[in-house]
Chain A
Amino acid sequence: MGIQILFRFILILFPSRFVKYIKIYQLVKILPAIRDDLLTDKKLLMGNEAIALGAIEAGVQVVTGYPGTPSTEALETVIRHADRCGIYTEWSSNEKVALETAVGAAYSGAKALVTMKQVGLNVASDPLMSLSYIGVKGALVLLVADDPGPHSSQTEQDTRAFGHFANIPVLDPATPQEAYELTKLAFELSHEFEIPVILRTTTRVSHSCGDVEVAVAEPAPVEAVCEGFVKDRRWTIFPRLTAERHPWLESVQVQLSERFSGLPFNSVSGSGKIGIIASGVSALYVKEAVETVRGFEELFTLLRVGTVYPFPESAALSFLKGIDRLIVAEELDPYLEEQVLQLIGRAHLLVDVYGKKNGIFPVSGEYNVDLVIDGINRALSAFGEDLRLSQASPVISREKLPPLPVRTPTLCAGCMHRTVFYAFKQAAKQLKKEAQTDTIFSGDIGCYTLGNAYPLNMVDTCLCMGAGVSIAGGLFRTNPKAKHVAFIGDSTFFHSGIAAVVNAVYNGADITLAVLDNRTTAMTGHQPHPGIGLTALGNASKAIEIADVVRSCGVELVRTVDTVDTDSLESCVKAVKEAMNFRGPSVIVFKGKCAGITKPDKYYKIKPEACTGCGLCIKELGCPAINLAADEPFIQDSCSGCGLCAQICPSEAICIGGVKL
């Protein structure tokens, strides 16, 4: 309907040769100054790419990781250079395994990098906490990407605080350029102090692109310096060894704090009596915020902290001695705020601190320049200054915008998960009708978390990687009359699903596990995993069959259902009913293809003469390829030919429209 009006609108407005392209009004000629081309040796790099190049330049020999937004592109970039540079790379089955693999390499004197997102560090925290006592020999750097907002994560945890907790140094870059430089520093420090180092980024560093000046234009082969593993009691943790190493570990913290105080990554600018301390991208927001004031250099002194843990106390102390009041601008935890508060207390300084703890800055969410200006102005007002930072006012504010369509992330057109969710929905509906039995659906982490969206509404719980199976087990103990279904993706199954299946069998949980096997790690951009038969570099490897794994765990009812056929819904529903009726743990492996990486061979269309306009295809499926025009459904170009809509149409009005080239 809307589109037809639009076409009419276009035709009325523009009658000439460009009849299809409408013109509204003339362009006002206020044009930016054009600059001519310059020769430059800089590269446009995403933060994650810059980290990869920094690591290669530092001589990294082994790189492992598990995909996770916003960290994934770092390892992907290393993979692109791996063969030529002689670097071993792997996508490991999870972050704990990735870290432990890198640990083995570093024990042997190699330089290793592990990449993960912030919640991945939780999975890897067991080896990490012990590793800090043991230390490393070559070098070990962890890239951990935090996600303030969060944009695509379960938590807003702060890895700076994690480093503090684990006694592991943390570097916190603000730009892709700094990410590149701090990666190299991380390797140097790790090698020199024999301790793992965390390079912590946030989404706006990892996923920001910027011009980066790199030392070498093309990554060169790394020099393979690795003396090999030398047997020594230092590699075997034991209570006595831990007791011996703890004083060493604490002394390293003091040494590093001193070293950090002298580094240029912690820089002071300005000479004013109002101090501002910030790290990461927040420091850039602060800079942009204060620069709106004439003579800001005389009003403010800014301390940018690039090496956040161990806190560079000497540098901070001399900064604090020059100011009367301190504003702390930082995303996530009040980490810097707590560091300066205790420093001010210990040094008996008279400096008031304005940050999250007294409500000046938001305690959660992602920051930006506007939010930092608001915070600084609140602080200025709290200490009675007349000065305010000015903010550009938009021509049209958010409040004045007309109502806009809501665009929630949705399963792709033709996604196999939609078929599986719909099959379970139908089976559960029938079960409710015939036996008054409710079904509880536990989801997991991956594309299929999007099954929670309207109109499928098929995710009742979601907590963390691999949790769905065990949560279903717990729900069964407390809701024995209901049916319990857990969904897990193929990559997540290998990541942390197997132990939960073992537990369900061991303790006899009456649950049905649906493995959504689309043959890739889809959500993070299609990385291979242990079930595919390909390594990170694309070499052939043993493909592990999920059905074989669960059978060997003792699951007695295991079914494999193909979802590729355009009439697969019926066989899906049949398998679902059988598994849900089975007493004890049951598993269905739904095999299909990820629509995101499969070239469609056909598309569907709606026969207008047969369509009754019941709208079932739209109301039930939420497929982005089906839409309404003048209250009648139509199938758009994005159709990838899964045929699910044709299978549910009560009037058989949907049929194959043709071949897709």
Chain B
Amino acid sequence: MKYDILIAGVGGQGVVLASRMLALAAMKAGFHVSTAETIGMSQREGSVSSHIRIGDKISGSLIPIGQADLLLGLEPAETVRNLPFLREGGKVLVNTHAIPPASRPPGSPEYDPAALLSFLCTCYPDILCSDFTELAEDVGTYRAANVAMLGAAAGARVLPFSEETLKAVLDAEIPEKYKAVNRAVFERAVKCIRFISGT
């Protein structure tokens, strides 16, 4: 068995934390796991991505082109940027909340999130989109959008481990102070995704 997940977002969105939670849940379920993250300079408002490789064998930490089973996009443009990694039939979950780039050097393309979202929907008719940042904000803090995406992935049943396994990892890893809000965001995202996907 192998299951490759790619999380894409912008520095500061909590991509690394989300990837750690998925990796720990995969380990808890008895798989080998390896992750590759963008750390350092590019964290500052740059594009960040995390590759999570789950399976029965140990492999290099980078997902090859066209092999990701699941793409968790925390931001529309970053989701599109990483589409080439997705395999035929792979799943896409997108946070529609756009983050415009910090500065626009002359000649750089205009950011049109709506156009990118419709591009995503045309390419992947079974895509699941929602404003997870707003969902998290409504529950308590926009910062928990990453946890909302994890809840959505668990709720959509596109992970190779159970919702309970992931919840147990979140409970063990998230500091006491933030536990309640993250738990609530997770549950809300599970409900939201079940509702919109009709499951």
Q: Given that A394-B86, A396-B123 are contacting pairs, would A412 and B44 also be in contact in the complex, using a CB cutoff of 8 Å?
A: yes
Q: Give how many A residues have a beta carbon under 8 Å from the other chain's beta carbons.
A: 89
A401–chain B nearest beta-carbon distance, Å: 6
Asked if A44 contacts B46 (CB within 8 A), the reply is no
Asked if B98 contacts A410 (CB within 8 A), the reply is no
Q: In chain A, what residue has the closest Cβ to B112? A: A2
Asked if B45 contacts A410 (CB within 8 A), the reply is yes
Q: In chain B, what residue has the closest Cβ to A43? A: B27
Cβ-based interface call for B140 (8 A): no
Q: Given that A2-B114, A407-B101 are contacting pairs, would A284 and B83 also be in contact in the complex, using a CB cutoff of 8 Å?
A: no
Q: In chain A, what residue has the closest Cβ to B129? A: A24
Asked if B58 contacts A44 (CB within 8 A), the reply is no
Q: Identify whether the interface residues of A are mostly helix, strand, loop, or mixed.
A: loop
B15–chain A nearest beta-carbon distance, Å: 13
Asked if A288 contacts B64 (CB within 8 A), the reply is yes
Please name all residues of chain B whose beta carbon is closer than 8 Å to the beta carbon of A411 when the two chains form the complex: 44
Asked if B113 contacts A2 (CB within 8 A), the reply is yes
Asked if B111 contacts A392 (CB within 8 A), the reply is no
From residue 118 to 155 of chain B, which have CB atoms closer than 8 A to chain A? 119, 121, 123, 125-132, 134-135, 138, 142
Asked if A622 contacts B108 (CB within 8 A), the reply is no
Please name all residues of chain B whose beta carbon is closer than 8 Å to the beta carbon of A14 when the two chains form the complex: 196
Asked if B41 contacts A69 (CB within 8 A), the reply is yes
Distance in angstroms between the alpha carbons of A177 and B27 in the assembled complex:
14
Cβ-based interface call for A637 (8 A): yes
Please name all residues of chain A whose beta carbon is closer than 8 Å to the beta carbon of B128 when the two chains form the complex: 23-24, 27
A151–chain B nearest beta-carbon distance, Å: 6
Asked if B102 contacts A410 (CB within 8 A), the reply is yes
Distance in angstroms between the alpha carbons of A404 and B59 in the assembled complex:
31
Q: In chain B, what residue has the closest Cβ to A402? A: B119
Q: Chain B contact residues (Cβ within 8 angstroms of A): what range? A: 35 or more
Cβ-based interface call for B96 (8 A): yes
A397–chain B nearest beta-carbon distance, Å: 6
Distance in angstroms between the alpha carbons of A42 and B105 in the assembled complex:
47
Give a binary string over A1-41; 1 marks a CB under 8 Å from any B CB, 0 the rest.
Answer: 01101100110001001101111111111111111111010
Q: Given that A402-B119, A406-B109 are contacting pairs, would A37 and B29 also be in contact in the complex, using a CB cutoff of 8 Å?
A: yes
Q: Please tell me which stretch of A180-188, A450-458, A531-539, A647-655 contacts chain B, meaning at least 4 of its Cβ atoms lie within 8 angstroms of it.
A: A450-458
**In the complex, which of the residues B45, B91, B96 has the most CB atoms of chain A within 10 Å of its own CB atom?**
B45
Asked if B114 contacts A6 (CB within 8 A), the reply is yes
Asked if A151 contacts B42 (CB within 8 A), the reply is yes
Asked if B134 contacts A21 (CB within 8 A), the reply is yes
Asked if B127 contacts A622 (CB within 8 A), the reply is no
**In the complex, which of the residues B33, B98, B103 has the most CB atoms of chain A within 10 Å of its own CB atom?**
B103
Q: Given that A25-B126, A37-B29, A622-B102 are contacting pairs, would A281 and B60 also be in contact in the complex, using a CB cutoff of 8 Å?
A: yes
Cβ-based interface call for B28 (8 A): yes
Distance in angstroms between the alpha carbons of A139 and B11 in the assembled complex:
40
Asked if B36 contacts A38 (CB within 8 A), the reply is no
Distance in angstroms between the alpha carbons of A447 and B65 in the assembled complex:
32
B123–chain A nearest beta-carbon distance, Å: 6
Asked if B64 contacts A5 (CB within 8 A), the reply is no
Q: Contact check: which of A2, A5, A25, A410 meets B100 at CB < 8 Å?
A: A2
Q: In chain A, what residue has the closest Cβ to B47? A: A407
Asked if A405 contacts B111 (CB within 8 A), the reply is yes
Distance in angstroms between the alpha carbons of A207 and B61 in the assembled complex:
10
From residue 369 to 427 of chain A, which have CB atoms closer than 8 A to chain B? 369-370, 373, 391-398, 401-412
Q: Contact check: which of A40, A402, A523 meets B27 at CB < 8 Å?
A: A40
A620–chain B nearest beta-carbon distance, Å: 11
A5–chain B nearest beta-carbon distance, Å: 5
Please name all residues of chain B whose beta carbon is closer than 8 Å to the beta carbon of A408 when the two chains form the complex: 46, 101-103, 105
**In the complex, which of the residues B65, B87, B129, B192 has the most CB atoms of chain A within 10 Å of its own CB atom?**
B65
Asked if B101 contacts A5 (CB within 8 A), the reply is no
Asked if A392 contacts B83 (CB within 8 A), the reply is no
8 smallest beta-carbon distances between A and B, as pairs: A38-B30, A624-B102, A392-B66, A284-B60, A23-B196, A403-B109, A394-B66, A622-B103
Residues of A within 8 A of B (CB): 2-3, 5-6, 9-10, 14, 17-18, 20-38, 40, 42, 44, 69-70, 151-152, 174-177, 204, 207-211, 281, 284-285, 287-288, 368-370, 373, 391-398, 401-412, 447, 450, 453-455, 523-524, 618, 622-624, 627-628, 637-638
Between-chain CB contacts (< 8 Å), 21 pairs: A6-B96, A17-B195, A21-B192, A23-B196, A24-B128, A32-B158, A34-B161, A37-B161, A42-B27, A44-B20, A151-B38, A211-B34, A288-B64, A368-B60, A369-B62, A391-B65, A394-B65, A401-B80, A402-B116, A408-B102, A410-B102
- A2-B98, A285-B60 given. 9 additional CB < 8 A pairs? A5-B113, A9-B114, A21-B132, A27-B156, A28-B126, A29-B199, A38-B28, A211-B27, A409-B42
